Amino acid sequence: MIDALRRRWSPRAWDLTALLNAADARASRPERHLWLIRLVEWLRSAPPQPGNRNELRADLRTQPGTPEASNGDVSPWPLRRLRHLLNVLERHPQHAEPVRQLLRSALTGTDVAALLADFGFAPRASLMSELGQRMRRALLPGTPDTADLGELFQLVFRHPDDARWLGQVDAVTWRRLARLLVDEDLSAHWRGAVLDSIQLLAAQVRASGLSGTLRPRMDERLLAQRPFHHLAQSAQHLADMADLDGHAAPDGLQRQADALRIQLHACRRAANSVRAHLEESGVSVDVVFEVAQLRERVRRIETLLTLLTSPQPERDWPGLMVELAQAVQDRRGLRRLFARHYSLLARKVTERSAETGEHYITRNREEYRSMLWRACGGGAVVAGTTLLKSAIGALGFSAFWGGFWAGINYAGSFVLIQLLGWTLATKQPAMTAPAMAAKLEGGSLDDEQVESFVDEVTHLIRSQMAGIVGNLAAVVPIVLTLQLATAAVFGRPAISVEEGRYVLAHLTLLGPTLLFAAFTGVLLFGSSLIAGWIENAFVLHRIDSAIAWNPRIVQLLGQARAQRWATWWRSNISGLAANVSLGLMLGLVPALALFFGLPLEVRHVTLGAGQIAAAAGALGWAVLREPDFWWCLAAVPLVGALNLLVSFVLAFRVAMRSRGLRLQDRGRLQAALRSRLRSQPMSFLRPPAGPTPEHLTTQPPSILSSDRTPE
Phi, psi of 219 (to 5 degrees): -65, 125
Total count of domains within the chain: 1
Task: List the CATH number of the domain containing 448.
Answer: 1.20.1080.10
CA–CA distance, 596 with 439 (Å, rounded to integer): 42
Q: Label residue 553 exposed, middle or buried (CB < 10 Å: 0-12, 13-18, 19+).
A: middle
DSSP per residue, 652-694: HHHHHHHTT-----HHHHHHHHHHHHHH-GGGGTS--SSPPPH
Domain assignment present for 348? no
Domain assignment present for 574? yes
pLDDT at 77: 86
Domain assignment present for 190? no
- The Cβ of residue 193 has, within 10 Å, a number of other Cβ atoms equal to 21
CA–CA distance, 439 with 701 (Å, rounded to integer): 17
Per the structure, the complete domain to which residue 458 belongs is given by 356-697
* CA dihedral over 170, 171, 177, 180, signed as positive or negative: negative
Are 376 and 316 in contact, with CB atoms under 8 Å apart? no
Domain assignment present for 126? no
pLDDT at 233: 87
| Torsion region of 240: left, alpha or beta (phi above 0 gives left; psi -120 to 50 gives alpha) | alpha
Quote the pTM value.
0.73
Domain assignment present for 323? no
Domain assignment present for 254? no
C-alpha count within 13 angstroms, C-beta hemisphere, residue 292: 22
pLDDT at 443: 56
pLDDT at 410: 96
pLDDT at 697: 41
Of 468, 236, 276, the C-alpha closest to 360 is: 468
Point out which residues pair with 148 in neighbouring strands: 111
Helix axes 317-330, 285-309, angle to 10 degrees: 160
pLDDT at 73: 55
Domain assignment present for 461? yes
- The Cβ of residue 325 has, within 10 Å, a number of other Cβ atoms equal to 24
Exposure letters 501-525 (e unless 16+ CB within 10 A, then b): bebbebbbbebebeebbbbbbbbbb
Domain assignment present for 218? no
**What is the block-wise mean pLDDT of the chain (711 residues), using blocks of 10 residues?**
42 73 90 93 72 37 40 74 92 90 88 91 74 80 89 91 90 88 82 92 94 90 90 87 60 86 94 84 81 92 91 81 89 71 64 58 82 93 94 90 96 94 76 65 68 81 87 95 88 87 93 95 90 86 91 92 93 90 96 92 94 92 92 95 88 72 66 84 74 43 37 43
